[in-house]
């Protein structure tokens, strides 16, 4: 990648910089090198502010990188990382933004229609390759997968299939309601509101990674109203899209003056 000297974080805020660089919304200007070894708050703030152009351009760039296969025909995460993203500070900074910077730090909130496409359930590097080269997630080797995915997502993707209980939709919904219930008030939160269900330690889902539970229970961004085509929605079928547990969420009754004659 031919990069020019990036604009520094301080320069981004100066009107004269914007005037001199009308095309500064280009990947080559973003200061990825400063993410190479650390996560400076000002760079994360820039990524958050310019999310809508930084991530699409970043995925377009990564998605066209060269792939490497094993003798078994699986794409190799470690080879991809070493040969594509280890050659410069800028490229290592891109890798860190995709895989090591907490997604919640620069995609906020994740659980809305605009941002769900960049949420933690989207393995950004794998999504880029799938988007631009048509390689399914299931075609990647699990060996080294955690090196090109966010660790929490990789943990969920690599869960032992035998550890995932076979539950009916009714059983899953019952566990979901338990996990969405606030202990102090007894209130059941909206299924799109919580990224991590609680109170399930002694249940059939208790030993699974948090994001695997999110996928199975179809909560947070895995809810049918928020999920997108590049999310991992099944820990054992990375490219699959599960059927909705229910076709329509119950809507709370809206009490009006017309009801008061009954009381």
Question: Where do the H-state alpha helices sit in 100-230?
Answer: 103-106, 124-133, 151-157, 169-180, 210-217
pLDDT digits (tens, 9 = 90+) for 61-93: 999 999 999 999 999 999 999 999 887 999 999
b/e for 130-164, b at 16 or more Cβ within 10 A?
Answer: bbeeebebebbbeebbbbbbbebbbbbbebeeeeb
Shared domain check, 166 and 105: no
Shared domain check, 150 and 173: no
Q: Residue 181: which domain range?
A: 159-250
pLDDT digits (tens, 9 = 90+) for 126-177: 999 999 999 999 999 999 999 999 999 999 999 999 999 999 999 999 999 9
**Total number of domains in the chain:** 2
Q: Within a domain: residue 259?
A: no
Cα distances (Å, whole numbers) of residue 84 to 28, 33, 51, 61, 89: 16, 15, 23, 11, 12
The pTM for the full model equals 0.86
């Amino acid at each position: 990648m031919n990069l020019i000297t990036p604009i520094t974080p301080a320069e981004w805020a100066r009107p004269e910089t914007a005037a001199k660089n009308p095309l500064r919304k280009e990947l080559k200007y973003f200061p990825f090198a400063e993410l190479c070894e650390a996560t400076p708050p000002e760079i994360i703030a820039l990524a958050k502010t310019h999310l809508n152009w930084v991530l699409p351009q970043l995925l377009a760039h990564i998605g066209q990188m060269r792939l490497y296969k094993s003798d078994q025909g699986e794409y190799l995460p470690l080879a991809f990382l070493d040969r594509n993203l280890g050659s410069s500070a800028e490229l290592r900074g891109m890798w860190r933004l995709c895989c090591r910077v907490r997604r919640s730090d620069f995609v906020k909130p994740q659980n809305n229609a605009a941002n769900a496409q960049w949420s933690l359930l989207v393995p950004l590097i794998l999504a880029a390759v799938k988007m631009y080269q048509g390689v399914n997630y299931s075609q990647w080797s699990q060996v080294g997968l955690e090196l090109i995915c966010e660790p929490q997502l990789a943990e969920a993707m690599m869960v032992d299939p035998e550890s995932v209980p076979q539950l009916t939709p009714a059983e899953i919904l019952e566990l979901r309601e338990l996990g969405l219930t606030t202990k102090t008030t007894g209130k059941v939160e909206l299924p799109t509101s919580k990224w991590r269900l609680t109170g399930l330690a002694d249940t059939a889902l208790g030993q699974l990674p948090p994001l695997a539970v999110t996928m199975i229970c179809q909560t947070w961004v895995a809810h049918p109203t928020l999920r997108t085509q590049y999310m991992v929605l099944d820990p054992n079928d990375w490219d699959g899209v599960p059927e909705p547990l229910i076709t329509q969420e119950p809507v709370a009754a809206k009490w009006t003056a017309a009801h008061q004659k009954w009381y």
